[in-house]
Structure 1
Amino acid sequence: MTSVSYYSSRSRPLILLALIVALHYAVIAWLTSHMGESPERSPLPRMVEIELLPALAARPPQPAAPPRERPPPPRPRQPIPPPPAPDLQPAPPVPPAVLEAGLDVAAPVSADTEGATAAGAIAATPAVQPGAAPAAADVQSPAADAAPPPQGGRRYKVDLPPSAGFELDVKRVDPNGTKWNGSAAMRWQSDGSRYKVGLEVGITVLIARVNLLALDSEGSIDDAGIAPQTMREKRRGRSQTATHFNREQRNISFSASEAKVPLLAGAQDKASVPFQLAAIGRADVKQFDGDIDILVGEDKGASVYRFQLAGEEELDTAMGKLQTWRLARPPKPGSYSARLDIWLAPTLGWYPVQIRNTEANGAVTTQTVTRITQLDSTIQ
Structure 2
Amino acid sequence: MTEVSRHPKRWPRALALVALSLALHLLLVDWGKRHLIAPAAPNEQHAISVALRPVPPPQQPVSLPVAKPPAAKTAPPKKAAAPRRARPVAESIEPPDEPIRETVVVVSAQPAPETAALPSGATDGAGAEEAAAAGKDSKDAGVPPSAETQPPAAGTHYVTDPPPTARLEYDVQATYNQMPVHGSGTLDWKTDGKTYRLDGKAEDFLFTFLNFSSNGEIDAFGVSPELYTEKRMRRSATNTHFNRERNVISFSASTESYPRNGGEQDRASLVWQLAAIGRGDAGQYRPGAVIDLFVAGARDAEVWRIQVLGEEELRLPIGQLRAWHVVRMPKPGSYDQRIDIWLAPLHDWYPVRLRYTDPRQNGDYLDMLLEKVKQ
Shared fold per TM-score greater than 0.5 = yes
Number of equivalenced pairs: 219
| Structure 2 letter corresponding to 1:356 | R
Match of 1:189 in 2: 190
Please give the residue correspondences for 1:30-45 in structure 2 after superposition, counting only pairs within 5 Å. none
Aligned-pair CA distance for 1:257: 1.0
Distance (whole Å) between structure 2 residues aligned to residue 214 and residue 357 of structure 1: 14
Aligned-pair CA distance for 1:236: 4.1
SS in 1 for 2:284: helix
Q: Do 2:169 and 2:185's aligned partners in 1 also have CA atoms closer than 8 Å? A: yes
Q: Does 1:288 align with 2:285?
A: yes
Q: Does 1:169 align with 2:171?
A: yes
Match of 2:345 in 1: 346
- Which 10-residue stretch deviates more, 326-335 or 273-282? 326-335
Aligned-pair CA distance for 1:332: 1.5
Q: Which has the higher contact order (CA 8 A, sep 6+)?
A: 1
Moved segments of 4+, more than 4 Å: 334-337
Match of 2:157 in 1: 155
Q: Do 1:312 and 1:326's aligned partners in 2 also have CA atoms closer than 8 Å? A: yes
Q: Do 2:164 and 2:190's aligned partners in 1 also have CA atoms closer than 8 Å? A: yes
Larger Rg: 1
Deviations 1:207-257 (A, max 9, x none): x33223321111111010011111122334443221100122222001111
Deviations 1:260-316 (A, max 9, x none): 012232111111111100000011111134310111111111121111111111111
Structure 1 length-normalised TM: 0.54
Match of 1:255 in 2: 252
Q: Does 1:271 align with 2:265?
A: no
Distance (whole Å) between structure 2 residues aligned to residue 348 and residue 266 of structure 1: 25
Q: Do 2:170 and 2:370's aligned partners in 1 also have CA atoms closer than 8 Å? A: yes
Distance (whole Å) between structure 2 residues aligned to residue 249 and residue 224 of structure 1: 18
Structure 1 residues 339 and 238, CA, compared in 2 at 3 Å: closer, same or farther?
closer
Structure 1 residues 167 and 261, CA, compared in 2 at 3 Å: closer, same or farther?
same
Match of 2:136 in 1: none
Aligned-pair CA distance for 1:163: 0.3
Q: Do 1:166 and 1:372's aligned partners in 2 also have CA atoms closer than 8 Å? A: yes
Q: Does 1:320 align with 2:319?
A: yes
Distance (whole Å) between structure 2 residues aligned to residue 363 and residue 152 of structure 1: 39
Structure 1 residues 325 and 362, CA, compared in 2 at 3 Å: closer, same or farther?
same
More helix by share: 2
Distance (whole Å) between structure 2 residues aligned to residue 334 and residue 267 of structure 1: 24
Structure 1 residues 174 and 216, CA, compared in 2 at 3 Å: closer, same or farther?
closer
| Structure 1 letter corresponding to 2:238 | T
Q: Percent identity?
A: 42
Match of 2:229 in 1: 232
Distance (whole Å) between structure 2 residues aligned to residue 241 and residue 293 of structure 1: 25
Unaligned 5+ segments in structure 1 are 1-150, 375-380
Match of 2:181 in 1: 180
Q: Do 1:264 and 1:295's aligned partners in 2 also have CA atoms closer than 8 Å? A: no
Quote the RMSD (CA, aligned, Å): 2.0
Match of 2:219 in 1: 222
Q: Do 1:303 and 1:335's aligned partners in 2 also have CA atoms closer than 8 Å? A: no
Match of 2:300 in 1: 301
Q: Do 2:173 and 2:181's aligned partners in 1 also have CA atoms closer than 8 Å? A: yes
| Structure 2 letter corresponding to 1:272 | S
Q: Do 1:153 and 1:293's aligned partners in 2 also have CA atoms closer than 8 Å? A: no
Q: Do 1:288 and 1:308's aligned partners in 2 also have CA atoms closer than 8 Å? A: no
SS in 2 for 1:209: coil
Structure 1 residues 364 and 238, CA, compared in 2 at 3 Å: closer, same or farther?
closer
Unaligned 5+ segments in structure 2 are 1-152
Structure 2 length-normalised TM: 0.55
